[in-house]
Amino acid sequence: MILSAEHIFYRDILQNISFQVKEKEKIGIAGLSGSGKTTLLKLLNTLILPDSGNLFFKQKPFSHYTPLDLRKKISLFFQNSTLFGKTIKENLLFPFAIQKNLLFPDQKRLEKVLEITSLSYPLDNLVYSFSGGEKQRLLLARTLLLDPDVFLFDEPTSALDIKTAQIVFQRIFEEFQDKTFLIVSHSLPLLEKTDRVFFMEKNKSLHEIAKNDLKNLKEIFNEGHN
């Protein structure tokens, strides 16, 4: 197992969360707003610590690693992350400028992640006038450059139309076949591309649902917004 949790509790947000994820698996995480999905990703990226329970990376407890080492191995994409700098290149390279011991990617790699995320602009293109969808794809490209063992994505297609989202994630899954993904999403087409789907209940618990039950999530999501 590359990632696992045993009886995780965090405030009144997560209650007795346990799961196991194998290497190279693509895991979808669904649930209503406020059910604790983003909090779970923050725990897995060590941005917050559980009140009790244990988290494991490659079958070793998180305490075996430094938080910085874990964040290099487990990268988190937030849907509301911030762009920095004036140009595409400055934004792509921002994490490498502020973190030690990260190898700067070459121009070929920069252009590759832009191709994967359907951003066909020169690296010196200014980002001030980017649409919400373009900003989200640039943030995705920046996360992909980090090349961790595990990608944590929090609503990575919320600003994208269905067709663009499908194209981008088809490319991501093809290019990063040897990586593990945990993806929080309300997008049924994206969840359908994953290997397994976990559902966060209103009572803050987590369980796996059958892929052929995904069609029922649309009704659940709609009820949650009424």
Whole-prediction pTM: 0.94
End-to-end CA separation in angstroms for the chain: 39
Phi, psi of 157 (to 5 degrees): -120, 15
pLDDT at position 80: 79
Are 44 and 182 in contact by the 8 Å Cβ rule? The answer is yes
pLDDT at position 103: 85
26-31 sheet: strands from edge to edge: 74-77, 150-154, 180-184, 26-31, 196-200, 206-209
Taking the C-alpha atoms of residue 40 and residue 48, their distance in angstroms, rounded to an integer, is: 9
Spans of the chain, pLDDT less than 70: 203, 220-226
- Residue type present at position 166: Q
- Measuring CA to CA, which residue among 22, 19, 58 is closest to residue 36? 19
Taking the C-alpha atoms of residue 215 and residue 93, their distance in angstroms, rounded to an integer, is: 39
> DSSP character for 103?
P
Residue with tokens 């897995």: 44
Taking the C-alpha atoms of residue 150 and residue 3, their distance in angstroms, rounded to an integer, is: 9
What count of other Cβ atoms lies within 10 Å of the Cβ of residue 82? 9
What does the block give as tokens for 152?
């944590």
How are beta strands 14-21 and 150-154 bridged, if at all? unpaired
Q: What structural domains and CATH numbers belong to the chain?
A: 3-224 (3.40.50.300)
pLDDT at position 225: 44
> DSSP character for 197?
E
- Measuring CA to CA, which residue among 223, 201, 148, 215 is closest to residue 30? 201
- Measuring CA to CA, which residue among 153, 168, 79 is closest to residue 119? 168
Are 6 and 61 in contact by the 8 Å Cβ rule? The answer is no
Are 4 and 44 in contact by the 8 Å Cβ rule? The answer is no
What does the block give as tokens for 166?
């499908």
pLDDT at position 222: 63
Q: Summarize pLDDT for 78-100 with one digit per residue, the tens.
A: 987 888 889 999 999 999 988 87
Taking the C-alpha atoms of residue 146 and residue 151, their distance in angstroms, rounded to an integer, is: 9
pLDDT at position 120: 87
Cβ within 8 Å of residue 82, ≥6 positions away? none
